Amino acid sequence: MVDVVRGPLRRAGVLGVVGGLVAALTVGGGAVGESVPRLGLRPLWSDPDSLAHAQLAAYETAGRTDLADALRPLAQAPTATWFTGDAPRERARALTTAAAAAGELPVLVAYDVPGRDCGSFSAGGAADDDAYLAWIRDLAAGIGDRPAVVVLEPDAVAFAVTGCSGVDRRDRLGLLRRAVEVLAALPGTHVYVDAGHAGWVQDLPALATALRAAGIDRAAGFALNVSNFQPTDVTVAYGRKLSHLLGGAHFVVDTSRNGAGAPVATGRDEDWCNPPGRRIGRLPTTLTGEDVVDAWLWVKRPGESDGSCRPGEPAAGEWFEGYALALVGV
């Protein structure tokens, strides 16, 4: 199954919420409360200062209406904001304050665990466990009591299951559990512990065990497909199996670049690092129509590079204009 985006961009979640409320009132005598998504009725936050917005503005200023029209669905869709390194408190405070003022729900990604990305293109992270927990507390202080979703440490649990040189599995999972405890204690924060993607860990009992050790019992659930390309139907089927092993845990799915499905696997980094032929997927919303899926999210910001995977490609997180245009079919 291939996910595609059709029609004009809508404010994520708003039309779905209205339709859901109407359905609850008119179909089968259901109560209004049944239609309210688990993350609430706020639309997801669309960052006006994103690199995609800047590119859209540049196209409009230059009179490139063809490119502006093509890029607009990508640029205006709500996307997550990644937090890596440096003191995150003020940035998190500014972001969540702006989102709260707009009546929107921001998605933050905590990505600073020691040994991050197993030394690959996004290598880095805090110097040690103490530094990491201080960083998490700083992030939490910035979020405060304002509403937020936090996707915790993409790839960290999956690497603990499959193995990563220099990373102690028990220490990694215990550290994540302590991070969950700090963030989940915030009154308005929903924490989703990253669990990799459907093409990675196939030993689901082992993954479930690792997620328990990482504090899934304190979290709102787990996250799947972050920065990856697995089709949504495949991901939901995988997530349901994992959810069953975790007693019905909910999850969110990154649909930012899975509109054409996953590339053919070759066993090389290029399989997941700026692979050609990909497309944006379902627009972000908290109205998924799936009982255990809390949201389709754009956790990866489409158009920002996965890394310098090939000669001339930008570093991880930098704007990649050609790739962004390819994602929208230009």
Known catalytic residue at 86? no
Query: CA 85 to CA 92: how far, in whole Å?
Result: 13
Angle 129-143/89-101 helices, nearest 10 degrees?
A: 30
Running DSSP on this structure, what letter comes out for residue 217? T
Dump the DSSP string for 93-116.
HHHHHHHHHTT-B-EEEE---TTB
In sequence order, what are the residues at sequence separation of 6 or more whose Cβ sits closer than 8 angstroms to the Cβ of residue 303?
51, 52, 55, 74, 319, 320, 321, 323, 324, 327
Query: How many Cα atoms within 13 Å fall on the side-chain side of residue 236?
Result: 16
Q: Which of 3, 112, 117, 254 is catalytic?
A: 117
Please name the residue that has the structure tokens 């990491």.
132
Strand ranges, E, within 104-206: 107-110, 148-152, 189-194
Query: CA 247 to CA 190: how far, in whole Å?
Result: 18
Q: Which residues are catalytic?
A: 117
